[in-house]
Structure 1
Amino acid sequence: MQSAESGLLILSSHQPLQRRVLKIKRILSYSRDTKVSHKVVLAYFRKHYWLIANGFCPYCHNHYRNFGILSNHIMRSHTLEVAEDYFKLREKIKEGGGK
């Protein structure tokens, strides 16, 4: 019984992170119109992790009370910055893979 409960706790602790990665994928794809590489999503997430995890916009540093509101703000207000980040990270990943 106890092991089943601890298994649920482990699963539930990973769910918010997975949801956030998916929302970041949506933010990036919204600014691009094409399929977004999962490697680019993870690189973007790592680059801005501290700010995003604490509810801050990585571009204007405003604080938002939950991740849904933050992701909507980023999609609406910072589309160009996200697109720039996307292309820079994609180029970095391509260069790293080519060596």
Structure 2
Amino acid sequence: MMLDSYTNTICLESWGRSSYARATVEVNAEKDLIKEMVVVVLKHEEHGYRKETISIEYEWKQPRFTTCMIFGHSNDECPKVVKAKKAVEQNVDQDGFQVVK
């Protein structure tokens, strides 16, 4: 979606080389984040292009629940998960009556 100013300048003015580029990306909550991708790189001194595989690192990953595929909460905090009720301690006397306080 967007590049940082340094990466943008390198791309627009066709100068320099960098070992990394920073970019803002849009991701789909229903799909896993990719770890690498193939890009096309133009050859500077001759015609044509070559394909390069680049690795992708994320500075920050939004928590995502893997069942409902919604960003913003983890598996433990998902509102769609039915939580088991804690067993309530019941005081029952020998006649089978429950003692209520």
Same topology, TM > 0.5: no
TM-score w.r.t. length of structure 1: 0.20
- Give the strand-richer structure, 1 or 2: 2
TM-score w.r.t. length of structure 2: 0.20
- Give the helix-richer structure, 1 or 2: 1
